[in-house]
Structure 1
Amino acid sequence: MPPKESAVDLSKHVDKSLRILLAGGRQVSGTLKGYDQLLNLVLDEAVEYIRDPEDPLRVTDNTRPLGLIVCRGTAVTLMAPTSGMEEIPNPFIQQEEAVE
């Protein structure tokens, strides 16, 4: 039986910076150094974005360095390249204000 191929090709993202959202709400970013068919990720120079203690669903700009980490593929819910990312205003907040 041939080896299983992954549904996602991450080869174009190796040695590039990614932001990862993990199950449970934690967010990390770092340089993708490797991965396997189960989408376990190896990130170098990783940093974790600290959640707001008042609102655990909101992530702050505060970070803590993690170094070299492995993210289990089963815990990864979202991957996005950090180049080209920008924060935009929440369009739903504007709609709610107009309704009130």
Structure 2
Amino acid sequence: MSNRKETVLDLAKFIDKGVCVKLSGGRQVIGTLKGYDQLLNLVLDEAVEYLRDHDDPLKTTDQTRALGLVVCRGTAVMLVAPTDGTEEIANPFVTQDPAVI
């Protein structure tokens, strides 16, 4: 056994590919992963931030803000997901009838 710590995530397969990063506090950034380290600090190029709703800060809107080259600090990273091969689906657990609880 080696004494070297390894990260749980293997982000090497996502280098130079699009990723979606959710950060603590509700921010969401999409960009091209250019680098990372064992502390999960991420370098994203051509990054775009999805702005949050003014009424509900936990929800994002379709409005975006171009950021360019960004370093996401590992302590703030909550989720890293590839943008290719994923799509948003409707929630199957939401009932259509509001009277049913």
Gaps of 5+ in 2: none
Query: Larger helix proportion, structure 1 or 2?
Result: 1
Gaps of 5+ in 1: none
2:93 is matched with: 92
Moved over 4 A (4+): none
Instruction: State, as a whole percentage, how many aligned pairs show the same letter.
Output: 66
Output the aligned Cα RMSD.
Answer: 1.8
**CA distance in structure 1 between the partners assigned to 2:4 and 2:27 by the alignment:** 32
Shift of 1:84: 1.8
Shift of 1:16: 0.4
2:39 is matched with: 38
**CA distance in structure 2 between the partners assigned to 1:55 and 1:61 by the alignment:** 14
1:67 is matched with: 68
User: How many residue pairs align between the two structures?
Assistant: 100
16-25 or 89-98: bigger deviation: 89-98
SS of match in other structure, 2:98: helix
**CA distance in structure 1 between the partners assigned to 2:90 and 2:62 by the alignment:** 16
